[in-house]
Structure 1
Amino acid sequence: MSRLTFLFSLLLLFALATGCKQASDLKAFSEAKYSLKEMHNLELNGVDVMQKRSPYDFTTSEGDSLLASISNNTLRASTTLLLQVQMPELVTDRQMTITEMKWQLLVDGEETLQGVVQEQLDLHEGLNELPIQTSVLMSEPEGMRNYEGLSKLMTMLSLKKDLRQRLRFQIKPTVQTPVGEVELPEYITVADPSNS
């Protein structure tokens, strides 16, 4: 009986130590500084938009498909993000598993696009390469779709202007913890005009 009690105590101590480490990692990630370094292979509904320089580069069927998806709020995107994570304290073995991630894009401070990544992502200190697939929905402040914000974004893209001063990208992850999945209470800013 004492041997069983000893083994149970060891397992309990291990579980507590693991839980404490995950809680510490979660706190570190919530206080980390995030920056979006690059984006590769951006596709909207299967159309590679990184190779498009003007509206004339889209075929008629590609344009019609994208416009229909924007109108119906059914646009889908896939891309690879290079996300830099800088911890407040340098500890190399920190890791966080994200089970779902809400995101939003603000244009001139107004919510314009949003979506949800529903695949598992593992984050660590340093540069993270994250292949993602997500819905792309127009934000609906006060129940109305933000066509004005989308129009501003499309105009900036067509004029090939530096967008960093007018865009803010934010994420709100749900993370795996010893007691289950927990959604962070607030959005984390990944790219902000003030930090450009």
Structure 2
Amino acid sequence: MMKRSKIGLALLLAVFLTGVGCRQVSDLKAFSEAKYSLQEVHDLELNGIDVMQKRGPEDFTTSEGDSLLASVSNNTLEASSTLYLQVHMPEPETAHQMTISQMKWQLLVDGKATLQGVVEEPMELHQGLNKLPLQTTVTMVEEEGLRNYEGLSKLMTLLAKKKDLRQNLTFQIKPTVEMPIGDLEVPAYIKVGAPG
């Protein structure tokens, strides 16, 4: 009798774990096929400096400018912000949720990777609008050992001109997702579109 109850318990546990695994695989597939758009950016700080209030180079103090320049040169620039990310599921009527243990990101200028970083804090994603507080080191992308200063220069020029940056900039993410068998990084970067 005891042996039967152990076998029954093992079967029940196996069915439960299979159900949990299938649900997470379904969630991962849904998020891989979803469309992402960045709705808003709030409280953007670089090295603790609120850059949302700056309109041009003259708005930075000498010490702020020196701090930012040194951090860019040393690839040690620290950014914090709150992103509002809209997730559009292929089947919005089905509830999906995903826990991300970390997220790589890249900013492309005119199609070329320029800045990148990794967000280490876990976060939850769901269908609809997601409020994501982020902290990340911002580094310049390197190609064959050389940093992409050209892309950074283009970015600074675009910001100075106060133009609509959406046609020149592409933001993309590469999440690592928590799964029953361990963390799994999605194979390719996912493009995050403009608000729409």
TM score, norm. by length of structure 1: 0.96
Alignment of 1:12-27 (within 5 A): 12-27=14-29
| Equivalent-residue separation in structure 2 for 1:112 and 1:182 (angstroms) | 25
Partner residue, 2:130? 128
Partner residue, 1:60? 62
| Equivalent-residue separation in structure 2 for 1:125 and 1:135 (angstroms) | 27
Partner residue, 2:188? 186
Partner residue, 2:30? 28
RMSD between aligned residues: 1.2
Cα distance, 1:143 vs structure 2: 1.6
| Equivalent-residue separation in structure 2 for 1:29 and 1:113 (angstroms) | 24
| Equivalent-residue separation in structure 2 for 1:55 and 1:105 (angstroms) | 21
Alignment of 1:107-146 (within 5 A): 107-146=109-148
Partner residue, 2:150? 148
| Equivalent-residue separation in structure 2 for 1:171 and 1:5 (angstroms) | 44
| Match for residue 175 of structure 1 among 177, 184, 196 | 177
| Equivalent-residue separation in structure 2 for 1:32 and 1:103 (angstroms) | 17
| Equivalent-residue separation in structure 1 for 2:81 and 2:92 (angstroms) | 29
Structure 2 residues not aligned, in runs of 5+? none
Amino acid at match of 2:101: T
Deviations 1:165-186 (A, max 9, x none): 1100010111000100011110
| Equivalent-residue separation in structure 2 for 1:182 and 1:58 (angstroms) | 41
Question: Percent of aligned positions with the same letter in both sequences?
Answer: 67
Range moving further from structure 2, 136-145 or 45-54 = 136-145
Residues 111 and 141 of structure 1 are in contact (CA less than 8 Å); yes or no, is this contact kept in structure 2?
no
Residues 171 and 189 of structure 1 are in contact (CA less than 8 Å); yes or no, is this contact kept in structure 2?
yes
Cα distance, 1:91 vs structure 2: 3.8
| Equivalent-residue separation in structure 2 for 1:7 and 1:133 (angstroms) | 44
Cα distance, 1:2 vs structure 2: 1.2
| Match for residue 96 of structure 1 among 72, 95, 98 | 98
Q: What is the number of residues matched between the two proteins? A: 194
Structure 1 residues not aligned, in runs of 5+? none
Residues 98 and 123 of structure 1 are in contact (CA less than 8 Å); yes or no, is this contact kept in structure 2?
yes
Residues 117 and 133 of structure 1 are in contact (CA less than 8 Å); yes or no, is this contact kept in structure 2?
yes
| Match for residue 87 of structure 1 among 89, 96, 118 | 89
| Equivalent-residue separation in structure 1 for 2:56 and 2:138 (angstroms) | 21
Range moving further from structure 2, 63-72 or 136-145 = 136-145
Cα distance, 1:35 vs structure 2: 0.4
| Equivalent-residue separation in structure 2 for 1:90 and 1:129 (angstroms) | 18
Report the secondary structure of 2:130's partner residue. strand
Cα distance, 1:90 vs structure 2: 1.8
Amino acid at match of 1:12: A
| Equivalent-residue separation in structure 2 for 1:156 and 1:133 (angstroms) | 24
| Equivalent-residue separation in structure 2 for 1:149 and 1:174 (angstroms) | 27
